[in-house]
Chain A
Amino acid sequence: MHRRDPLPRVLYIDLSSKRFWVEDRRDLFEEYIGGTGVAINLLREEVPRGADPLGPDNAIVFAVGPFNGLYPMASKTVAMFKSPLTGNLGESHAGGRSAIAIRLAGYGAIVIKGASDIPVWVSIYGNKVYFRDARALWGMRSTHTVGRIIREVEGGHGFRTIMRIGRAGEKLVRYACVVVDTFRHFGRLGLGAVFGSKKLKALVVVGRGSVPVVDKAAYRRVYNKIYKEIIGTPATKKYHELGTAQNVLPLNELGALPTMNLRKTKFEYAEEVSGERLAERYLGRRVSCAHCPVACIHLAALREPYEHEPYFYKTTFVSYDYEPIYALGTMLGIRSAEGLLMLLDAVEVYGLDAMSAGVALAWMTEAFERGVIGERETMGVKPRWGDYEEYLRAIEMIVEQPNEFYAALARGTEYAAREYGGEEFALTYGGNEMPGYHTGPAAHIGFAVGSRHSHLDAAGYSYDEKNVGRELKVEEVVDYLIREERWRQILTSLVLCLFARGIYKPDLVVEAFKPLGEERSEDELRELGRRIHLLKLRYKLDEGFDFSKLRFPKRIFETPTPYGMLKPEFMEEALKLYRARVEEELKAL
């Protein structure tokens, strides 16, 4: 990187002492690039082993990389923390304007430590950090309102990010999210609860600096090449037109769309909650993350009449994507787009991870049906497939936790099922609620072994989809998952949006490094991806992760995939092989 590139600067903020300082961490950025690679190192430095995820010892690391602010679709920020949901590695990515603001404020990473005595929000303007009194914002019902207020009182309009938590984060729901610039999220693994435990209501970063390059002519050339590819390729067209919601119908057709707590993989009302239906009837606006021309963010305009006031309507904008449609739509058997949009808005208002919340409600519905829990536990809520009004009540209960049952459900589906029963239909992996793919073995093996138990770790679903009709081999699946997750460590160290993975192929990444004055070969990058992946696994093992305790939810063997019924032997063998391979490599690390 250019010697004046501010990327190596790490901003440390201690909420306990309300102090901040900057350190030059060239050591980390030169070796690990940025993003995921740098964040895992900072997390290991900052969080003592065995720390309470909701105690002051936990730290929040935000990291960006060299491509942010330079190349299009490098629009993501990596957040790392110890997850209060899994008690282990927490990693979540968000776009919006977050990455651009952090990078152009002159930082490669921000580390937030300690805990405040009173609710605060923190505002970063270049070299200055302000601790603002957030007592007046604490307890507010909606993250939308919090966003509106901060928008008015802070500066840097157009060059800033506003991250905030809702009631769910304040109440420490273990799968509370952080809302970023409205409609984007650090969704998974409970960063919102970590914010809440630190009494950190919001984080504002304003950045409008420049990023110097070493070879300006080459920079312009490579930039134009990437831009042309993004604009011209069908791969991004899909995200632009219907957005990720376009996956609903093909997955339904394939028989891979988890429905009603994965009792089925085809939903007879899939059409109603499909990307096509939402676009035709509700799409109000498409928006983009900063420095990304794709505009995959789809906002539905939900128009609701006021009951007692004729011709008076409220119009709410609701962001939708495939995963939230799966979790709060098909998994709950929601048969109308309106019902779905109301549920999506509710989790946005409270600041809950849509995916975990939906899977938790699906488990709750089945547990209720089977009599595992009753109305005493649910306090009169009668969860029933398709009944979104009951689900709206249940969501509020999860946030407010008026009894022990909801307090347990607020700790996650796995925890609640352990306490109340129904583990065989609790769809979780390593404590994290399952993503929306019942495509075949690779998807589920990926959820199990992926370092954040996410579909984004290695996209096993994509491997399944491409190979339908072929007989899969354990070695090939494991090879694919390892190789893909490792390359993705590089993409998320740069930090690119994973939707750009089809554009930023290894040779293009190598080429894009050159104007920065850096020569990195594909082999070197792959080796680094391997090391970052192993560092994350090392962290997990140190924090008590145990391959031998990994389990596949029984339910996944009871519902057919496009490959037929999954075979437990195949899955167990894959786990064993995966484990043997990485453990051997860890020994040599």
Chain B
Amino acid sequence: MAKRLSVIDVELCVGCMMCVFACSRRFGDGGVAKSAIRVASIGGIERGFRVIVCRACPDPPCAASCPTGALRPRKGGGALMDPKKCVSCGNCVRACPIGAVMWDEESNKPIICVHCGLCAQYCPYGVIELEEVRASA
């Protein structure tokens, strides 16, 4: 079954960014440049955080907005990216209303979540988890 990343309870988030670092580390280096997740306060850390992840839309607007077919809908939701076809137009970033398409300044291309769940493995507080995608849509 296809899986997708999901924010279970954002109130549990302490803003440690372990997930953000884990996501970037999938390519082997440190830092956050390749991260598909963003954790930011909602106006001061005392008010808590927003954890922005791709929610794996069944009919993803990011893919719909891609003029070159670099982004195709992924089975289970969200999109898959073929970097060879990407012309860095940024339509996908603008098309995602929740801001879950990040931008990699180093390669000048979008960062598309592949729902691998590595981030969730490093969340000590159970804020995010990888879950089965239910068949109905």
Contact = CB atoms under 8 A, between A and B. Distances in A.
Contact of B16 (A70, A208, A284, A292): A292
B18 A158 contact: no
Contacts of A293: 14, 16, 18, 122, 124
B30 A210 contact: yes
A534 B93 CA distance: 52
A299 B14 contact: no
- By secondary structure, the B interface counts as loop
A148 B43 contact: yes
B46 A317 contact: yes
A295 B16 contact: yes
Nearest to B99: A157
B109 to A, nearest CB: 14
Nearest to A67: B30
B76 to A, nearest CB: 26
Given A100-B17, A293-B124, A183 B29 contact: no
A213 B32 contact: no
B90 interface: no
A295 to B, nearest CB: 4
Contacts of A181: 45
Given A209-B33, A227-B122, A295-B16, A219 B46 contact: no
Contacts of A217: 28
Interface size class of B (residues with CB under 8 A): 20 to 34
Contacts of A506: none
Interface residues of A, number: 45
Interface in B8-39: 14-18, 21, 24-25, 28-34, 38-39
A286 interface: yes
A142 interface: no
B16 A69 contact: no
A374 interface: no
A291 B16 contact: yes
Q: Which of B28, B29, B124 has the most CB of A within 10 A?
A: B29
B61 interface: no
Contacts of A100: 17, 32
A182 B33 contact: no
Given A69-B31, A293-B124, A299 B18 contact: no
Contacts of A148: 43-44
Interface in A149-163: 151, 157-159
A104 interface: yes
A70 B105 contact: no
A210 B5 CA distance: 23
Contacts of B125: 295
A393 interface: no
B101 to A, nearest CB: 15
B106 A220 contact: no
Given A70-B30, A231-B124, A291-B21, A151 B48 contact: no
B87 interface: no
B14 A210 contact: no
A147 B44 CA distance: 8
B38 A210 contact: no
Nearest to B39: A158
B31 A158 contact: no
Contact of A213 (B17, B28, B105): B28
15 contacts: A100-B32, A148-B43, A151-B44, A157-B40, A158-B41, A208-B33, A209-B31, A209-B32, A209-B106, A211-B30, A231-B124, A288-B14, A289-B16, A293-B16, A293-B124
Given A159-B32, A284-B46, 15 more contacts: A148-B44, A181-B45, A183-B46, A209-B33, A210-B106, A211-B29, A212-B30, A220-B28, A223-B25, A285-B46, A287-B15, A291-B18, A293-B122, A295-B16, A299-B46
Interface of B: 14-18, 21, 24-25, 28-34, 38-41, 43-46, 48, 105-106, 122, 124-125
Closest 5 CB pairs between A and B? A158-B40, A216-B28, A317-B46, A210-B31, A211-B30
